[in-house]
Amino acid sequence: MRCADSLVVRLLPGSGDTVARFFACTLLSACTLLSARTLLSARTLLSACTLLSASTLLVAGALLAGCAGGGGAPMTDATNAYNAAEFGRSLALSRAAAERGTGLARDQARYLEGLSLLKLGRVEESIAPLEEASDAANRALAADARVSLGTALLRKGDLAGAAEAYRRASFILEGEEKQRALAVEAECNARLAAAKVPSAPPRAEQPVAVAAAEEPPAPAASAPPSPSPQPSPSSPTARIINGVEIEPVRFAIQAGAFKDRSKAVELAAQVGPQVALEKLAPPRVIEKERGDGSTVYVVQFGSFPNRAVAGKALRAFSKTPYTVERWVE
């Protein structure tokens, strides 16, 4: 069970520490006190990162230590620093671990880097490492990072981004956790919709009728000039807007993102038969450069004109953590 600020981290495979597992169970039980009704309140959304007490943060640190098996001493030191509320030191150490780490170890380090930045109030900077961790191959870590990313975007005031982060988390989460993520997503979308509704204009006072001299009839309005013809678009899917050809945004179903290209190729081969069965565009492996200069290999399939159509196609893959994303060229 995750709290709204997602400082709770699951134990990852390879962590056999019985004590850490005991604290994990204790923390997860404590988090059940947060009901869906609490998450639905705007007040909770605005103060989502104040829900954990100091003792809870210590347990979160213990869980992070349990997850650091692949990161070596730097990650252990970073976790201990975070546990001691030395967030500047945990930030420096987790960054050092991320630079030297690969695969799961790097994803864990980037996640702790994002959490440290959040605690330091550097919300804008926390988004990039949390976004990277949210694409981790490990499902539990990816889910935690997506919820943490949602928290960061809420602090930033990006309701649309927060809704998307919680929606992506719900693809991995199960049971009550999934329902809570969906509840926060729904609240974000409701507040976005409310913000777009224009307020009613003030009612004008009715003027007092005054007799006036008869006016001559107004001349008939001349017909408006006909608009100049628009050129035909060169692409059957493009549109001409104000004389400029605009290609619409396309969407695809994204099956995963990996640092290792061979893993992306392997996943594309695995999903190929089902994609062909659903008569969708075949899986593609696309090299994508992140904002920090690192490279990730994305697996996408299908081609859709909008999110709604892509969402319907995604139902055939309901038992997978796939998401609808923008088409990557």
Burial class from Cβ neighbours inside 10 Å (0-12, 13-18, 19+) for residue 33 reads exposed
pLDDT value at residue 245 = 54
**Other beta carbons within 10 Å of 285:** 18
Output DSSP code: residue 290.
Answer: -
pLDDT value at residue 11 = 33
What number is the average pLDDT over the span 115-133? 93
Residue 107: name the closest of 321, 324, 290 by CA. 290
Residue 302 and residue 310 in contact, taking contact as beta carbons nearer than 8 Å: yes
Look at residue 211 and tell me whether its pLDDT is greater than 60. Answer: no
Over pLDDT 90: what percentage of the chain?
36
Mutual angle of helices 123-133 and 103-119, in 10-degree steps: 160
Residue 159: name the closest of 196, 120, 122 by CA. 196
Residue the block writes with tokens 């507040």? 191
Higher-confidence residue: 70 or 255? 255
Look at residue 174 and tell me whether its pLDDT is greater than 70. Answer: yes
Residue 304 and residue 278 in contact, taking contact as beta carbons nearer than 8 Å: no
Given pLDDT bands bounded at 50, 70 and 90, which one contains residue 218?
A: low
Look at residue 265 and tell me whether its pLDDT is greater than 70. Answer: yes
Q: Round to whole Å and give the CA distance between 158 and 161.
A: 5
Higher-confidence residue: 227 or 179? 179
Query: Which secondary structure element, helix H or strand E, spans residue 184, and what is its range?
Result: helix 175-196
Q: Round to whole Å and give the CA distance between 58 and 40.
A: 27
Lowest mean pLDDT among 114-123, 149-158, 239-248, 291-300: 239-248
The token duo for 135 is 């694409």
Burial class from Cβ neighbours inside 10 Å (0-12, 13-18, 19+) for residue 299 reads buried
Over pLDDT 70: what percentage of the chain?
62
Given pLDDT bands bounded at 50, 70 and 90, which one contains residue 38?
A: very low
What global pTM score does this model have?
0.47
What are the chain's domains? 18-195 (1.25.40.10), 251-326 (3.30.70.1070)
Q: Round to whole Å and give the CA distance between 48 and 34.
A: 11
The token duo for 43 is 């007040």
Segments in 69-174 forming alpha helices (H): 72-83, 87-100, 103-119, 123-133, 139-156, 159-170
What number is the average pLDDT over the span 256-262? 92
Residue the block writes with tokens 């204009």? 201
pLDDT value at residue 46 = 40
Look at residue 31 and tell me whether its pLDDT is greater than 70. Answer: no
- The mean pLDDT of the chain is 74
Residue 23 and residue 55 in contact, taking contact as beta carbons nearer than 8 Å: no
Dihedral angle over CA of 136, 325, 286, 305, nearest 10: 170
Lowest mean pLDDT among 11-20, 81-90, 284-293, 317-326: 11-20
Q: What is the pLDDT of residues 83-109, one digit of tens each?
A: 899 999 999 999 999 988 888 889 999
What number is the average pLDDT over the span 39-63? 40
pLDDT value at residue 293 = 82
Helix, strand, coil abundance in the chain, percent, nearest 5: 55, 10, 35
Angle at 203 between CA 198 and CA 206, to 5 degrees: 155
The token duo for 35 is 């009901």
Given pLDDT bands bounded at 50, 70 and 90, which one contains residue 61?
A: very low
Look at residue 185 and tell me whether its pLDDT is greater than 50. Answer: yes
What number is the average pLDDT over the span 28-57? 39
